Amino acid sequence: MTDTFKLRSGPSRRQLLQGAASAAAALTFPGAPAIAQSARRDMRIGIWGGDFGNISPVVRWDIQAGLPMLNIFDNLVRIDYENRKIIPHIAEEWTNTAPDVWRIKLREGVKWHRGFGEMTAEDLVYTWRYHLESKSFQVGFALFALDTIKADGKYVVEVKTKRPFGAFPGVAMGYGGMIISQNAHKEMGNQAYSAKPIGQGPYMVETLRGNELELVRNPEYWRPGFPKLDKLMYRAVPDSSVRLQALMRGELDFMTHPESREVADAAKNTNYTTVRTPGWNWDYQQFNLKGDPKAPFQNKLVRQAISYAIDREAIVKEIYNGEANITDNQIPKGYLGHRASLQRYPKNGDLNKAKALMAQAGVKGYEVEVITSDKDWLRRELELVAAMVSQIGINYKIRNLDMGGFNNLWLNQKFEQHLEDITLVAPDPDATSWWFLNSKGSSSGLNNPEMDALTDSARAESDPEKREGLYHQIVDRTLEDCPLVYHCNVNMVQIFDKRLTGFKPSPQEYVELHDATTWSA
């Protein structure tokens, strides 16, 4: 890493918080350091999180790894966020030749990094079979519907699904669309590939050291004129305020996840660009319904009581300073099946209703361990929510974990309850519901035959009007069972040097593409 990328010692988090009243003054930074534009061919990016860990698509990866990963690997498809359409990328075209058969034509001439040859149909077959055979948790969810995968020539792959799957382009080709090099993966082994993967995207991995990652330009990238920069240097910095101060000191050029209360003042600073995008996400609580059968939350009346006890408007105001939208269900605005943001639970809660449901359930009060990750805003949100549910006799015993520790407990269902956020990975409502509510995919452990029938029917249905009706029923069933309690949809926010151009924001937390980002002349 270059010395200019190392963060200088700054104020402690306590000092930063004590100075919040003068945030406006702090953010009127007199001007970014002078840049000789002809010399700047790099960008320094500050993101949330700790060590990057794995950066291979076929192993469980965290959000901070996903941000650079999608600049290392090109996806089969991209999403036109404005029009909510799936558009070709390294998959030139695809056809649904039978209700349960899809054929994918790959782009010719796409080369793997560092001399590993051309990407072919065999690489796609190898990647998807690896996910299925290794039963990968994360991306594997996008591929559970697949039955057989085979190459038909050098550039065509034919996929047969277990049943009709209308969401295939957005889910399987979208979220599951980062393809690895068969030859490189076999030669290097999974561990080495996870640390320095061979992709086919605009940037290649140069070095990875814990929380620092350097990418360099791919000289054989298939899109002429891209990428615009020679180097991307990522630094994971857990504290939001520390990231912002590093940006203001000129030690970073671009940052993600600013402290919400600092966004409004940052947006007034003419030396920087602040972009806000309504997120495809939720902040939510989840209950382990496969856990202790005697746990009070196994009773849906208790889960409903918790949802009624939540003041969602207070969360949006106090945690996100208005940079979020309240919701009580899983389908955000713009998705097929979306209805008004609150369908059942009032924005400020209803404590009388919550207490009545607790009495109806025969539960006077209890203690439960609730885990969350190292996202500082979620830790504050959990403290706020704990105060809310304490009013109905429930004591949240908070356990803060780093992201690796959180994922270990969550994925292995070794938790009682958690509060976390999650990004929806496709513009199709299948990604909002089937994965979380169907018994074959539910990490919560929900096992409801009616919900299984609804979610299976919705993912198989091709008629949009019929699908929308099914998703209305799915939401109604979710609001009744409350296996998850939804709080809000949070804006995605980035702040960066005003001289950077070409960046297009996305509503997905892990998608920040920098193939077109460059310094203005």
Least confident of 17-26, 112-121, 254-263, 320-329: 17-26
Query: How many angstroms separate the CA atoms of 184 and 187, rounded?
Result: 5
Residue of higher predicted confidence among 278 and 33:
278
Mean pLDDT, range 328-344, rounded to an integer: 90
Q: Does the pLDDT value for residue 26 go beyond 50?
A: no
* Token representation of residue 475: 């939401």
Do 3-71+200-279+492-519 and 281-490 share a fold?
Answer: no
Instruction: Encode burial over 158-172: b for 16+ CB neighbours within 10 A, e otherwise.
Output: bbebeebbbbbbbbb
Check pLDDT > 70 for residue 372: yes
Residue of higher predicted confidence among 75 and 80: 75
Tokens representing 82 are 């404005």
**Domain boundaries defined on the chain:** 3-71+200-279+492-519, 77-185, 281-490
Q: What is the DSSP letter of 178?
A: B
Fold for the domain defined by 3-71+200-279+492-519? D-Maltodextrin-Binding Protein; domain 2 (3.40.190)
- Residue 520 sits at φ, ψ, to 5 deg, of -70, 150
Residues 6+ apart with CB under 8 A from 134: 58, 140
Is 17 a residue whose pLDDT tops 90?
no
Q: In angstroms, rounded to a whole number, what is the distance separating the alpha carbons of residues 25 and 424?
A: 36
215 versus 340: the higher-pLDDT residue is: 215
Radius of gyration (Cα) for the chain, nearest Å?
23
When pLDDT is averaged across residues 414-434 and rounded to a whole number, the result is: 91
Q: Could you tell me if 254 and 45 are in contact, meaning their C-beta atoms sit under 8 angstroms apart? A: yes
Question: Which uninterrupted H or E stretch holds 512?
Answer: none
Q: State yes or no: pLDDT of 33 exceeds 70.
A: no
DSSP-derived 3-state class of residue 420: strand
User: Alpha-carbon distance 242 to 8, whole Å?
Assistant: 10
Is there a contact between 168 and 58 (Cβ–Cβ < 8 Å)?
no
Instruction: Report the C-alpha gap between 290 and 311 in whole angstroms.
Output: 27
Residues in CB range of 180: below 8 A, 6 or more apart: 56, 57, 58, 73, 123, 126, 127, 130, 193, 197, 198, 199
pLDDT band of residue 10 (cuts 50, 70, 90) is: very low
Residue with tokens 């496709």: 426
Output the pLDDT for position 39: 60
34-48: average pLDDT: 77
Mean pLDDT in residue range 404-421: 90
pTM tops 0.95: no
* Portion of the chain with pLDDT greater than 70, in percent: 92
Asked whether the predicted pLDDT for residue 361 surpasses 90, the reply is yes
Give me the CATH topology for the region 281-490: Dipeptide-binding Protein; domain 3 (3.10.105)
Give the pLDDT of residue 30.
Answer: 40
Task: Encode pLDDT of 254-301 as tens digits.
Answer: 999 998 889 999 999 999 999 999 999 999 999 999 999 999 999 999
d(CA 297, CA 361): 10
CATH topology assigned to domain 77-185:
Dipeptide-binding Protein; domain 1 (3.90.76)
Task: Please give the Cα distance from 357 to 352 (Å, whole number).
Answer: 9
In a 3-state reduction of DSSP, which class is residue 56? coil
Q: Which of 312, 336, 310, 300 is nearest to 479 (CA)?
A: 300
Mean pLDDT of 490-514: 95
Instruction: Report d(CA 137, CA 442) in Å as an integer.
Output: 11
Q: Smallest Cα–Cα separation from 404: which of 50, 68, 46? A: 50
Strand segments (E) across 113-202: 146-151, 156-161
For the cut 70, the answer to whether the pLDDT of residue 18 exceeds it is no
- Most confident listed range (24-33, 59-68, 148-157): 148-157
Each residue of 441-475: pLDDT tens digit?
A: 777 789 999 999 999 999 888 788 999 999 999 99
Q: In percent, how much of the chain has pLDDT > 90?
A: 73
Distance between start and end Cα atoms, the chain = 26
The pairing of strands 500-501 and 77-80 is: unpaired
Instruction: Name the H helices within 99-164.
Output: 121-134
Q: Does residue 1 have a pLDDT over 50?
A: no
Mean pLDDT score, 384-394: 98
**Region of poorest pLDDT, from 107-111, 403-407, 472-476:** 403-407
pLDDT by residue (tens digit) across 187-225?
A: 999 999 999 999 999 999 999 998 999 999 999 999 999
Please state, rounded to an integer, the average pLDDT across all residues of the chain.
Answer: 90
Name the residue with tokens 């979380």: 436
Question: For the ranges 24-38, 363-377, 498-512, which has the lowest average pLDDT?
Answer: 24-38
Phi, psi of 232 (to 5 degrees): -120, 130
Q: Which of 322, 296, 258 is nearest to 493 (CA)?
A: 258
Q: Which residue has the tokens 């939540």?
A: 310
Amino acid at 417: Q
